[in-house]
Amino acid sequence: MTDEDAAQPNLKTSHMRWMKPILDALKELGGKASPSEVREQIAGDLHLTQDELSATRGKREVNKFGNEVAFARNALVFGGYIDGGERGIWKLTNKGITVDMTDELASDIIRKLNRYGRDQRALKTSSANAVGDSGVPEKRYWSYRPGSGAKKWQECQDGSVMLIGWGKIGDISQYDSRSEIQQRLRDSYEMDGIPRNAARMLWQFANDMKPGDVVVAIAGTRTILGIGEVQSDYEHYEKAADDFNNARQVSWMTVDDDDSTLRSEKQFHNKTLNDITPNLDMVRQIDELMNDDGEEGDDALIVEEIPLDPYSRKDFLNEVYVGEHTYDNLVSALERKKNIILMGAPGVGKTFIAKRLAYSIMGEKDPSRVTMVQFHQNYSYEDFMFGYRPTPTGGFERKYGVFYEFCKKAEEDEERPYYFVIDEINRGNLSKIFGELFMLIENDKRGLSLRLPDADELFSIPGNVFIIGMMNTADRSLAMIDYALRRRFAFVELTPGFATAGFGKYADSLNNDRFNRLIAAVETLNNEISRDDSLGKGFRIGHSYFCGLNSETVDEQLPLIVEYELIPLIEEYWFDDPAKAEAESENLRAAIR
């Protein structure tokens, strides 16, 4: 057994058990049939009782049989045993006709499907860590209108799909840009204006949406019809009977309530498809609905408990350009104080380091236990803890802030650490933001309860909450950290990582003399900055300016980095000595000639 196999959950699940019956039913039905015909055939073949067919799961009574069969069909499409190209029809492929579906093969299909979904989410966040490291959820959440008046909702449920119109333009994946889609829409539908919104929606549906994303089917502005998890890449149906021939496979969980609808607390936008990920209140509401429909950990949307990717000290040192001694000091300081501040010059990778430090201590990449915020001059206690906000009806309601909710979440999972990351911590009015938390964040005051102002409630910060702050030492406009807060944090200075083993390997991989000369020139410049009484080592240039390059484009990128990133910084440093700024700028230019 491999380490990967050992990390997998027991895959002989209720979903897996339906794969062979689906294939057998389709063979008996001549190789293709509608979803309802397949379900009826399975029920007859297996002599299922009415109780088994009508059994539900969760508080909202999702039909268990239909949900499990729908996911099993999606897994068979992924494995190439069912053709997903014809809407409303389940059709065997040649591979599906001849296969002998065993438990071992079904297990392997689900394992690969889970790995694929995990890899797609990783690809979505690997090119730039803006999403994963910004506090916004790494998977996306979408609101979706299944046709005018939700007329396609039943078809979407029956076929375990979501459908988008504008079918006259053909397969969306053939277009390289939104502008191409716009032009084709104008030509195909004889439009006078520019269909920017429709082109954007189609582009997002085909390119931005990924397996693992969450879709909320809606009607009107507040009615939630169902919640689903995307199971496939974009698909185009050539033989659709109407305009709705753009699809993705989705495992739907209906949320029928007593009155057949569920009212959303938040108002949805009037778009066919809308990325609601940045609306954290709305995302939180959707997550609560999903969790409410689970029963003893049996979630109607989550097919398997997908193992998280491991992340170790070695992974951190390979990915982050700091030395082993610095890493060990970071971990030790965080364990001892529970609160640390990463301080350093621009470009030393403070933001990049923070989340990966948390992962390395966890031993796995679990973004659900890491939250990031950014302080600014208008950030307040109400944003951080709680306050009263106006309502659409003219009144006020209490709204809890991000740190309050984070602590409550960590409190329910006290066996595992949680990390709260604050970017630009010294940009905010810290006394105003933290309030009574000045005392509660101390490592020996964790678990101590205080009564919150204007609330009949006791609050404490759990012992498994760790705070990682970041501050830029080169920003002269920022005030000093409050001394009362300073003694509650350990301050760790991060330095440019040009001399680390990780950066050395990166430079070797580029194998570029101009790059090496530029790095040498920057190190010389950093020595000059450190010696300058008006600047000092806190103003040195960090290594992240030079990360993310590859051997094919490095020669094109170096002049852009020098002219538009480094030289403006130098001119700011020596704004009162133009001759000095020009001389140092010329040294950098000369290094890449």
d(CA 355, CA 374): 14
d(CA 223, CA 260): 10
Is residue 587 within a helix (H) or strand (E), and if so which, with residue range?
A: helix 578-591
Of the listed ranges 230-234, 323-327, 544-548, the one predicted with least confidence: 230-234
DSSP letter (8 states) at residue 126 = H
Of the listed ranges 403-412, 418-427, 484-493, the one predicted with least confidence: 484-493
List, for residues 307-325, the tens digit of each pLDDT value: 678 899 999 988 888 888 8
What confidence category does residue 240 fall into, taking pLDDT thresholds of 50, 70 and 90? low
CA atoms within 13 A on the CB side of 8: 18
- Which amino acid is located at 471 in the chain? M
DSSP letter (8 states) at residue 246 = E
As a whole number, the mean pLDDT across the chain is 80
For the purposes of burial, counting CB atoms within 10 Å of the CB of 223, is it exposed (0-12), middle (13-18) or buried (19 or more)?
Answer: middle
% of the chain exceeding 70 in pLDDT = 82
What domains are defined for the chain? Answer: 3-124 (1.10.10), 129-292 (3.10.590.10), 313-494 (3.40.50.300), 501-591 (no CATH)
- Token pair 């390395």: residue: 360
Token pair of 478 as six digits: 């920022």
d(CA 234, CA 385): 41
Of the listed ranges 119-133, 392-406, 436-450, 474-488, the one predicted with least confidence: 119-133
> Residue 161 pairs with which residues in a beta bridge?
249
d(CA 289, CA 299): 11
d(CA 209, CA 220): 23
Say if CB 132 and CB 122 are below 8 A apart: no
d(CA 260, CA 198): 30
Token pair of 405 as six digits: 């909710």
CB within 8 Å of 294: residues ≥ 6 apart: 58, 300
